[in-house]
Each structure stands twice: as structure tokens, then as C-alpha cells.
Amino acid sequence: MTSVRVTDLVKDYSIRTGLKRTRLRAVDHVSLELTPGRTVALVGESGSGKSTIAKILTRMETPSSGTVDVRLDDGTAVARSRYRREVQMVFQDPFASLNPFHSIEHHIARPLRIHKRTTTAEETRERVLEMLERVNLTPAANIAPRRPHELSGGQRQRVAIARALAPGAQVLIADEPVSMLDVSIRLGVLNLLGRLQREDALAVLYITHDLATARHFSDEIVVLYRGRVVERGPSDAVILDPHHEYTKLLALAAPDPERPGRVTSSDPVDRETIDNSTCYDHFTGSWQEAGVPAAARAAAP
Ligand SMILES: Nc1ncnc2c1ncn2[C@@H]1O[C@H](COP(=O)(O)OP(=O)(O)OP(=O)(O)O)[C@@H](O)[C@H]1O
Ligand SMILES: [Mg+2]
């Protein structure tokens, strides 16, 4: 069992506008905790900093400040060399995340070998077939030799999930795992993630724009707005009793048929006017300052 504690994460990007360079704070003092057997949903619209957090958690980006502490059950810190095995990511785009030149078998066998989960070629092959069956890709022997383009989007995403779990990962970061899939198959993939999570007591960060699936598939919801957490709490509490203006707006938002996975608000409120300096925490039942170190977080006026 592995837990992840994120404390005061900050990520600044330097962006060029003409001749000048300006700083963009994509993530501003975000703290959250992922524990075995629990799913935390990170919700927020485009540009709110969700993927940046996912990339930092999977070590594809380094934070400007703040810490990511990954520990095993007995309290020992996970060594750098073992980090990749413990924390894995499922990406949004199942078409881009698999290599078109390699077979499905190769995609799953590779992490098994790299992380020394299997020793002989025969054992690897057996484990590949087992993994494919676990993600409902059957008959596995028939799927294994295929290349990614010979599978549907939903099937590819199942391969990506099997690949993420192959090293024995205990923490799964799923960055909008179904937003590029056809609406009709999204639920199937989310149900699969839910089942694997229960079976392996995985700690899951589920990133989405969609409050409805966030509520259904998560224990806790963290609402991100312009890099800051503006509301957090048990899923039902956040959805049924949203306190922050931004969460209320998200709750009103409807799926945008033109851009699958994206939402448009039915209410043309200018988002720039929404304040992200306070956060409502349902766990404590109080407003707090947002965008400040956790230790310094004062009760909001
Ligand atoms: N490598 C980068 N360089 C500069 N700015 C970046 C970089 N990556 C992200 N950003 C900026 O950081 C902000 C947060 O981006 P991020 O990708 O985390 O948003 P997101 O919440 O995942 O959005 P989406 O829902 O569209 O995926 C955005 O304003 C984005 O333009
Ligand atoms: Mg993103």
C-alpha cells in the first residue's frame, strides 16, 4: 500500500509575450492526499492546473516549490528508483499514448520486464494475458499480437490501464481518462477503473471536467480554479452543497457537444471576476485562505 502526500505545491511557468517574459503561476499552493482504496477527483475547467499537478506527481515536471511525499504502509519513503513503479499515469489520449509500431503484448511486457515483475519470457507472456483479461480485453490471446490501430479507442484505453498497472503500481493518476472516448463507452472504462481500484486498493487521482462522474467515482472532490483549490470535501457534500461561486458555476455547466469532454456554462458569467482567494473546506466546515502555505492558512474573513 502506498500513500502520496502533496504539500504546498507551486508551479510557475515562464512564458514569452513578445519580447517580455512573464511568470504564470499554474499551480498555487495545492495540498492533497492520496490514500489506498480512495479516489480523489480533481475537477476544474481547462487551464486550471490539473495536468500540471498530474505531471508533477508522475515526475514529468518538477515543482517550483512544495513537496510530494510517497510512503509505503510502514512509513518508509519510496526511493526514487521505485517511484515509477509505484505511481503510474493513464493519459487522456489513448491514440497518442501507445506506440503504433509495437504490439499490445509489447506495451504490457515492457513494464513487466523493466520492473522485474517476471523472470522468464513464458512468465511474461502469461502475465500479459492475465493483465489483458483483467481489463476485459478478451480473448486475450487474440488481442495481444494486435497493434494499437487495430483496437477501438476504448480498447486502447484499457491497454493503457493494464500497462499502468503492470509494474504493480499502487497509485494511479488518471488525467481525463475517458474524455476523448465516445460517450457510450465512457462508463465502461470508468467502471473498470473503479473495479481495479477496489480489487487492488489503489490510491487514485481522477482528473476530470465532469462533476457527475467525479461524484459517482470518487470519495473526495477537490475543485481547482486558476491554480488554487477553492473547495474540497466528501464528494456528495461538494456536489449537493457547493459553497464556492466557482463550484456552483461548474455544477450548472453542461457538456459541450462540440468539444467532447469539455463543458460550457449555461450562464455566461465572466470567470475572471470569480475570486480564488478563498477555499471552502467541507471537512472542517469553514472558509480558509487559498494560495498560501498550509501551515499559514488562516480562517478567511
Ligand atoms: N510547459 C508549459 N509552459 C508554459 N505554460 C504551461 C505549460 N504547461 C501548462 N502551462 C499553462 O499552465 C496552466 C495550467 O495548465 P494545465 O495543463 O495544468 O491545465 P488543465 O487544468 O490540465 O487544463 P485542461 O483541462 O485543458 O487539460 C495553463 O494556463 C497552461 O497554459
Ligand atoms: Mg489537462
How far does residue 67's CA lie from ligand 2's centre (Å)?
21
How far does residue 50's CA lie from ligand 2's centre (Å)?
5
Looking at ligand 1, which atom is closest to the CA of residue 15? 4
**Atom 14 of ligand 1 has which residue's CA nearest to it?**
49
**Atom 5 of ligand 1 has which residue's CA nearest to it?**
13
Residues in CB range of 227: below 8 A, 6 or more apart = 25, 26, 27, 28, 30, 48, 49, 276, 291
Looking at ligand 1, which atom is closest to the CA of residue 49? 18
- Which comes out higher in pLDDT, residue 39 or 79? 39
| Burial annotation 208-218 (CB, 10 A radius, 16+ → b, else e) | bbbbebbbebb
> Average model confidence (pLDDT) for the chain?
90
**Atom 28 of ligand 1 has which residue's CA nearest to it?**
47
How far does residue 66's CA lie from ligand 1's centre (Å)?
18
How far does residue 4's CA lie from ligand 2's centre (Å)?
20
How far does residue 294's CA lie from ligand 2's centre (Å)?
24
Give pLDDT tens digits for 209-262: 889 899 999 999 999 999 999 999 999 999 999 999 999 988 876 555 445 445
How far does residue 57's CA lie from ligand 1's centre (Å)?
15
Three-point CA angle 88, 89, 93, nearest 5°? 155
Query: 2-296, superfamily in CATH?
Result: P-loop containing nucleotide triphosphate hydrolases (3.40.50.300)
Average pLDDT of span 285-300: 86
Torsional sign, CA 119, 120, 123, 125: positive
Give pLDDT, residue 294.
87
Give pLDDT, residue 257.
47
Average pLDDT of span 266-280: 75
> Helix, strand, coil: what percent of the chain each, to 5?
35, 30, 35
Question: Do strands 254-255 and 171-175 pair parallel, antiparallel, or not at all (unpaired)?
Answer: unpaired
Least confident stretch, 6-10, 99-103, 208-212, 225-229: 208-212
pLDDT above 70: percentage of residues in the chain:
93
Ligand 1 pocket test: which of 50, 58, 64, 176 has the largest number of ligand atoms within 8 Å of its C-beta? 50
Give pLDDT, residue 271.
66
CB 167 within 8 A of CB 115: yes
Answer yes or no: is pLDDT of 269 > 90.
no
Answer yes or no: is pLDDT of 278 > 70.
yes
What ranges do the domains of the chain cover? 2-296
How far does residue 10's CA lie from ligand 2's centre (Å)?
16
Name the grid cell of 124.
511474461
Ligand 1 pocket test: which of 52, 57, 64, 93 has the largest number of ligand atoms within 8 Å of its C-beta? 52
CB 179 within 8 A of CB 260: yes
How far does residue 73's CA lie from ligand 1's centre (Å)?
33
Answer yes or no: is pLDDT of 159 > 50.
yes
Looking at ligand 1, which atom is closest to the CA of residue 48? 21
* Residues whose beta carbon lies within 6 Å of some atom of ligand 1: 13, 15, 24, 26, 44, 46-52
**Atom 24 of ligand 1 has which residue's CA nearest to it?**
46
Give pLDDT tens digits for 161-201: 999 999 999 999 999 999 999 888 999 999 999 999 999 99
For residues 131, 137, 139 and 140, what is the CA-based torsion angle, rounded to 10 degrees? -30
Give pLDDT tens digits for 196-205: 999 999 999 9
Neighbours of ion ligand 2 (CB under 5 A): 51
Answer yes or no: is pLDDT of 88 > 80.
yes
Give pLDDT, residue 264.
53
Give pLDDT, residue 254.
52
**Cα separations in angstroms, 96 against 71, 92, 267:** 31, 9, 34
